[in-house]
Structure 1
Amino acid sequence: MVWAVSQQLARGKRTRIWGGAFLCWLCLMLATPKIPHSPKHHLFVDMRNFLGVPNTLNVITNFPFLVVGVLCFVLCLQGNFFNISLRGEVWGWALFYAGTAGVAFGSAYYHLKPDDDRVIWDTLPMMIAYSSLYSSFVAERVGERIGLSCLFALLLVAFLSTGYERKYNDLRLCMAFQLIPSIAIPGMTCLFQPKYTHSRYWLFAAGAHILAKFEGVADRKIYRANRYFISGHSLEHLCLAMVPVLFSVMLMYRRMKFQRLGDYKERL
């Protein structure tokens, strides 16, 4: 009887999650105009060339992504350094750190010569990382099976969104996808009880993500404010690299609060 009730509640939560995601997508496509590629999207204020590397600071500020991504990917698979209790969470966190490492290569490649053809290698690794991060959050707060279904579904949506951008020259889906961590995660934090301690790091990371986006928008103003030392876009890279660092600290120090009945049943 208890198992049947828990399964019914899990299905209800799953329906609400996918129903909310579909409504957000529908509102986005109906309420916003098409956002095509523009040459202005590839114009960054800091175009300095050091040691023969074009757009040097925008390229080398991606290096922290590589360090954090590779190191934490290995630690995640090792199994005894991070406090991860569910197999579904391991998949999600491992892909998150793999996507973070991919951002280093993709973003650096794009910033060497920013154009419409290279931007896909900048956005796709980020979307993979965001998909994995959100599915890890769902697995922790809602249930392992729902988290895994979110992982595979969001990865599919990430590739479809990238293909849509390339075919129809419309950035709306990719831009919306990058807002998932800073909107959906804080919202769901209020709806679902955390299974682990140190859950406030989810909000810290969402705040760092929002700050990074503001730095990217204020690229030129920040560059002028610090007397042309570093641009807002380069600071955006460094601030975004703090997001996986914050999550790594959370994974190291968090402890289990309680075992969800749904997770126990899914293991049986």
Structure 2
Amino acid sequence: MLVTPRIAHSHALHLFADMRNFLGVPNTLNVLTTFPFLLVGVPGLVLCLSGCCFGISLRGEKWGWAFFYAATATSAFGSAYYHLKPDDDRVVWDKLPMMTSAASLLSILVIERIDEQMGMSCLFSLITLVLVSIACERTFDDLRLCMMFHIVPCIVIPALLFLFPPKYTHSRFWFCATGFYLLAKFEAIADKKIYSASRYIISGHSLEHMCLAMVPIILTVMLWFRSIKIARDS
């Protein structure tokens, strides 16, 4: 942040390729494709808190996954609210749940593969940093801190997966989820090109929503089937 210039809001960030209205709903497909977040977020949160079906052995992991699923479910409302009328005031409700999800996943891996106390400190520190970054964005019109939550997890999460041994089985699901996340980011960048290539049926941004929804789906399947591989103290 010290060596890069301030990144201010731009109206162009709110201009998506597909802004069609169906049945009076503005930006219809961009709004409707946020619904899968709710479908996977709410059941995931319920199963996580019940503690009866998921392979979760540490209290810290339970906190991390609870934040992740709560943020996933909330993103359905936040993103839909933003896409109904995309502007600088509403975009915060789209970013906040996504950034919280990324912070939660990063902390979960620290809890699982390194140390529970360190991971819990990471979880609450990163969530605090999420709120600080949103405040900086709104106060100083600077997106740099928010952008870190899109860039850093893409680097740190794969690094943790490679450097530290898994505590549970089915750890390959992490790589699959990371792949869908990276694919979603590519689709967001190629929003207009994908919209044109699909003969104006669906845009890259709508596909981004569906690929991002695959991340909690894959991780939910992982939690359902995994078992302890390496015993670690809580």
Q: TM above 0.5, one fold?
A: yes
One-letter amino acid of the counterpart of residue 177, structure 1: F
Matched, 1:257 2:200: no
Secondary structure of the corresponding residue to residue 257 of structure 1: coil
Q: Find the partner of 2:206 among 234, 239, 249.
A: 234
Matched, 1:40 2:16: no
Q: Displacement, 1:251?
A: 0.6
Contact 1:53 1:112 in 2 (8 A): yes
Which stretches of structure 1, 4 residues or more, deviate above 4 A after TM superposition? Answer: none
CA-to-aligned-CA distance 1:205-261 (integer Å, 9 cap, x gap): 11111100000010000000010000000000000000001100111111111212x
Contact 2:109 2:160 in 1 (8 A): no
Greater Rg by CA: 1
One-letter amino acid of the counterpart of residue 77, structure 1: L
Partner of 2:173: 201
Partner of 1:224: 196
Q: Find the partner of 1:70 among 38, 42, 45.
A: 42
1:1-268, aligned counterparts within 5 Å?
Answer: 29-260=1-232, 264=233, 267=234
CA-to-aligned-CA distance 1:128-154 (integer Å, 9 cap, x gap): 111111111110011111111111100
Unaligned stretches of 5+ residues in structure 2: none
CA distance in 1, matches of 2:43, 2:98: 18
CA-to-aligned-CA distance 1:130-181 (integer Å, 9 cap, x gap): 1111111110011111111111100100000110111111111111112233
**TM-score normalized with structure 2 length:** 0.98
One-letter amino acid of the counterpart of residue 201, structure 1: F
CA-to-aligned-CA distance 1:29-85 (integer Å, 9 cap, x gap): 133222110000000010110111000000010000011000110011111110000
Q: Displacement, 1:127?
A: 1.1
Secondary structure of the corresponding residue to residue 87 of structure 2: coil
Secondary structure of the corresponding residue to residue 256 of structure 1: coil
RMSD: 0.9
CA distance in 2, matches of 1:33, 1:203: 33
CA distance in 2, matches of 1:180, 1:239: 19
Secondary structure of the corresponding residue to residue 231 of structure 2: coil
Unaligned stretches of 5+ residues in structure 1: 1-28
Q: RCO (CA 8 Å, sep 6+): is it higher in 1 or 2?
A: 2
Q: Displacement, 1:183?
A: 1.3
CA distance in 2, matches of 1:96, 1:179: 18
Secondary structure of the corresponding residue to residue 88 of structure 1: helix
CA distance in 2, matches of 1:258, 1:239: 31
Q: Share of identical aligned residues, percent?
A: 63
